[in-house]
Every structure is written in C-alpha cells, then in structure tokens.
Amino acid sequence: MSAAQKLGPSSAKLRLDDKDIDLPIFIGSEGEKAIDVTKLRAETGYVTLDSGYMDTGACTSAITFLDGELGILKYRGYPIEEIAEKSSFLESSYLVFYGKLPSESEYKAFVQRIASFDDIPEGIKQQIKCFPKTAHPMAVLSANLVSLSAWNEDLCTQDLNKDQKDTAIAQLMGQIKVMAAYAYRHSQGKDFIKSDKSLDYCSDFVYMMTGDKNVKKEVAKALDVLLILHVDHEQNCSTSSVRMVGSSKANIFATISAGVDALWGPLHGGANQAVLEMLQEIKDSGKGYEAFLAEVKDKNSGSRLMGFGHRVYKNFDPRAKIIKVACDSVLQTLGVQDPLLDIAKGLEAVALKDEYFVARKLYPNVDFYSGIIYRALGIPTNMFTVMFAMGRLPGWMAQWKEMVEQPGFKICRPRQIYTGDTHNHYVAIKDRK
C-alpha cells in the first residue's frame, strides 16, 4: 500500500447526550489508525482534550514513518538502516524534500546549489561578533536565522513559488553550517574561516570550526551518519513548532528559527548535552559508574540515567544501533583518552546486561552515542544542540513545504478547556482590599 486509505470499518460511533455520532475512521499506509474528529465540535459542541497532544494526529504526512513499539524509522518509505549505510546527509535531505532519491544529475545540481551559499551577509557576521563570547550558540543561531529575512525579502512573501522554495531550501542548508561554525569560532575568540567548496558538507563544517582540512574519513562519515539520523522524526516538539508557526504564513526564516528555539529545550534537543553533564557529575563525585547505577535503581536517590530509553521508542532506538557502530569507529580512529568516555563505555556495558535496565527497556538512545562522538571530536557541550539543528533542518523544511502545499492548508488553532473564574466584576482600585 503506497498511499493513505480508509480501510476496515468506515466510522466509529460516539454516544453523546443520548445521541450516536458517526466519526470517520482513517487508516494510514502503514496501518496507523485514527478517528477523524474534524467536525466533532461543529456537530456536537464538544472538543477533545489531549494534554501534550500525545494521542492527537495534527496532520497527515508522507515524509516519515515511526513505530515506537517495533523500533522502526523510515524516510519516505526507506528504512533508516539502508539510508544510513548507503546514502549521505545531502541525498537523504533531497529525499525528504522531494519525495524521491535523486538522479546523478539532480544530486550534483542539488549539492552545487547548496555549496553556492557558502557565505552569510556581512551584517550577520557583525551580529555574531556582537554577542558575548559566553552566549549559547543556539541563541546565536536562532537570531541569525530570523535575521536572514531582512536580507532576503524576495523569499519572505506569503506564497513562494517552486523556484523560491528550492532556493530557500538550498540557502538554509548551505548557510546553517556557516552560522554554526562562526558561532563556535566566536565563542573561542578566533577569526572566522571561509567555507571551502572542494570539501564535502561535513568535512567543510569541521574545517570551518577547526581550520583542519585533513578530516579523517571515519570522522566525516560519523558526522554524516549523525546528521542523517536526525533529519526527521515525525511530529516532535520542534517539527510541530515549525508547522504551527509556518501555518500563519510567517516567512521561512522565522519559521525555521522557531524550530531552533523549540529544539533548544532540555527535554528535546538538549538531551545529548544532559548525557555529558551526567558523565561529568559521575567523574566529579569520584564514586564510579557502578555506584551511580545503583543510585539510579533507588527511587529515593533522585539520580537519573540520561541517554537511555526514549519517549517514543518502547524498544531499542533504531538510530542508536546505527550510531553505536560509528561511535566505536570514531573512538578507535582517534584513540582519544578521556575519562568521561571511559565512564560512558562502562555505563553502556553494565546497563545493557543489567536485568533492571533490560526489563525496563532502558537501552542507550541516539543522544547517548551522539554526545560521546561530539566529545571525542572536541566539540564543546553547548554546541551539541546546534549539531542536532543542522541535522533536523531538512526535516523542518520538508514538513513546512508539505504543509503549505497541501489542499485545505489553514492556520493551526488548537482549542482549550477553560478552568478559570467565571463571575468576577470590576472594582475600582480605591475600593479594592
């Protein structure tokens, strides 16, 4: 089955106020089932209440399929395992944007178009330099992205045509790594390094950060795989934020900046940073990881094991299996001696065998391994979420593009159930107690 279809029973019956209401049943192409409540309020006066939208399908989408119970992730129907092994970050980006793998000529043109956006406006460079060196790189990135709208008014119209969308996609793909690298260089008090078009996407990014053009192929490949694994992940907090803001027809730069802001939160993109902070706390305590794991098992200790388990995946995170291989390769290639990495490997080995964690399916997730890789590469902790944003950018733009091109596109406007006071009356300020 290649497209969403209505299968099985055509409707579900809901009994409200002694009246039967028929609600259409919708079944997706991978068998996901939904009850369509689009007309519920109009017909009954009721709305659904779903705190956190955990059981609400806010849209239909043909980009990413995720099955948390079985540990399945697909981009446009392609298993993430195949994409990570055989594709590249830029090719997988093309796939989510346009719904198909590119031909050789299409891919070459796509890569060249992205590479053509190898610089940012002088005003934004000065803006970066105006930030305190201690500023979080996500603050710098968010400000830079929304500032692009001031330099690209032709891409800020309400309804972009196909060529304008293609330009915006390529421009953001090219410029986000420049902004990210420049934010890092500024935090280190170093001059900016201009992009080198002769390098591949990930090697160029490392070069702009470090000044080293001789990036080991294992390192470039590991970064490329990390970005692939973050390309899209269905309707998560930042992607939903992009759709919400984009639904108002805010320009593409403001819309993507909103995604960065949502990703910045520690409950979303900050998870890999939390992993390294946990490892540092274990090291500083001097107790060792075995004692820490014992504390984690004690509900009264307050200790939490970061980077294990996942909100959506109830089994092994399929991305973690892939990135573990890249992680092992990077650590072996670089031969890094780091006590935090030793602690991480010890936590992983014990937790994967300990019945307490196995029974609860608390396996290492993608955030656990990505933090280790970034640490091994010398990337500071506060840059981790920026790396996440670089990887997630294609998904945000693909979701935005899909939304604005869907028939019946409208502004998002959730409902609420009011629980406040009901019969207050105004009292003049002189008469208030």
> What CATH architecture does domain 271-318+328-378 belong to?
Orthogonal Bundle (1.10)
Q: Which two tokens stand for residue 135?
A: 């500023």
Three-state SS letters, the chain: CCCCECCCCCEEEEEECCEEEEEEEEECCCCCEEECCCCHHHHHCCCCCCHHHCCCCCCCCCCEEEECCCCEEEECCEEHHHHHHHCCHHHHHHHHHHCCCCCHHHHHHHHHHHHHCCCCCHHHHHHHHHCCCCCCHHHHHHHHHHHHHHHCHHHCCCCCCHHHHHHHHHHHHHHHHHHHHHHHHHHCCCCCCCCCCCCCHHHHHHHHHHCCCCCCHHHHHHHHHHHHHHCCCCCCHHHHHHHHHHCCCCCHHHHHHHHHHHHCCCCCCCHHHHHHHHHHHHHHHCCCHHHHHHHHHCCCCCCCCCCECCCCCCCCCHHHHHHHHHHHHHHHHHCCCCHHHHHHHHHHHHHCCCHHHHHCCCCECHHHHHHHHHHHCCCCHHHHHHHHHHHHHHHHHHHHHHHHHCCCCCCCCCCCCCCCCCCCCCCCHHHCC
- Rounded to an integer, what is the distance from CA 155 to the centroid of its chain? 24
Q: Which two tokens stand for residue 244?
A: 């919400």
Q: Which CATH number fits domain 88-264: 1.10.580.10, 3.40.50.720, 1.10.150.250, 3.20.20.70?
A: 1.10.580.10
User: What does the pLDDT read at residue 352?
Assistant: 83
User: What does the pLDDT read at residue 9?
Assistant: 58
The residues pairing with 422 across neighbouring beta strands, listed in sequence order, are none
**Catalytic residue status for 268:** no
Catalytic one among 224, 261, 310, 317? 310
Going from N- to C-terminal start, the domains of the chain cover 11-73, 88-264, 271-318+328-378
- The 10 Å Cβ neighbour count of residue 113 is 16
In tens digits, the chain (433 residues) has pLDDT values of 444 444 445 889 999 988 889 999 999 999 989 999 999 999 899 999 999 898 899 999 999 999 988 889 999 999 999 999 999 999 999 999 999 999 999 999 999 999 999 999 999 999 999 999 999 999 999 999 999 999 999 999 889 999 999 999 999 999 999 999 999 999 999 999 999 999 999 999 999 999 999 999 999 999 999 999 999 999 999 999 999 999 999 999 999 999 999 999 988 888 778 888 899 999 999 988 999 999 999 888 888 888 888 878 877 788 988 988 888 888 888 888 778 878 888 888 888 888 998 888 888 888 888 888 888 888 888 899 999 999 999 999 999 999 999 998 999 999 999 999 999 999 999 999 8
User: What does the pLDDT read at residue 332?
Assistant: 86
Instruction: Name which of 93, 254, 249, 260 is nearest 170 in CA terms.
Output: 93
Instruction: Name which of 178, 183, 377, 184 is nearest 276 in CA terms.
Output: 377
Instruction: Output the CATH code of domain 11-73.
Output: 2.20.28.60
The CA-atom distances, in angstroms, between 342 and each of 32, 309, 322, 338, 377 are 42, 21, 20, 6, 15
Catalytic one among 200, 261, 317, 367? 367
**Catalytic residue status for 367:** yes
* Geometric angle at alpha carbon 322, from 320 and 325, rounded to 5°: 105
Residues 388 and 396 sit within 8 Å (Cβ to Cβ):
no
